[in-house]
Amino acid sequence: MTAVLQNKKALITGGTTGIGFATAKAMIEEGADVIVTGQNTERVNTAIADLGSKAFGLTAASQDAETPARIVKAVKDRFGLLDILFANAGVSWPAPLGQIDASAAVQQMTINFVGPLMMVQALRPLLNRGASVLFTTSNLDRMGMPGLAVYSASKAALRSLARTLAAELVGEGVRVNTIAPGPIETPILGKLGLSKEDLGGMKEDIRSAVPLGRFGKPEEIAAAAVFLASDASSYMLGEEITIDGGRCNL
């Protein structure tokens, strides 16, 4: 059976751990060559060693103004043109109303929304006809959770952006869609600044609110990303696939 992404060229931002890494692995298994980006050079090198010869790594932070130009150069040098852009990099810095720092809010919006926007804008000339652009949004673009106002707003903005870009790029044969994960067991949970006890309590609260009674796995999101990147989803445009164990629906 032919791999569904055979000879496709992909870029995955935030591809060194969690959802991004699982997606890079899945896309390579389906025949793609992949560039992954990450902020930490050591993690980038470790990811590339694990992913093998069809992967190439680039240390880059999505909030840096020069990052899109550096990534464009890397794509040109490595691939020439691009078939898949998965803008996955993002952060979550919880803060309840009354404790939201304006500069942190702006930075979070920059990483989660402005960064992906600038990335698509910069890479647009390199997108092959038939290319697929994917964004990682969140089920929180449809529901509210205390303490996550800025994060949720950034993902809602990204969801709206996907609709607009889908309309703008459809004439060029480029499809834009999004994946909205719910609670997923990834390293981002350990970066929330919580104590071990508080983190454990938060995870149990979240788990108990998910109808399927568990956190999702990065590989489950990766499977959706492969589907949206492949011709199997050729009739999907401006859509969002929510994968959250039923949290939004039940």
Residues 6+ apart with CB under 8 A from 118: 67, 68
Residue 76: active-site member: no
3-state secondary structure of 5: coil
Tell me how far apart the alpha carbons of residues 216 and 119 are, in angstroms, rounded to a whole number.
27
Helices (H), the chain: 18-29, 41-51, 67-78, 102-109, 115-123, 149-169, 196-209, 218-229
Tracing tokens 């090198």 back to the chain, one arrives at 45
CB 47 within 8 A of CB 38: yes
Of 134, 140, 149, 105, the residue nearest 14 (C-alpha): 134
CB 51 within 8 A of CB 20: no
Q: Which of 8, 9, 25, 151 is catalytic?
A: 151
Tracing tokens 């038939």 back to the chain, one arrives at 130
Q: Which of 9, 155, 191, 217 is catalytic?
A: 155
Radius of gyration of the chain (CA): 17
Is the four-CA dihedral 176, 239, 225, 7 of positive or negative sign? Answer: negative
Residue 196: active-site member: no
3-state secondary structure of 184: strand
| Residues with a known catalytic role | 151, 155
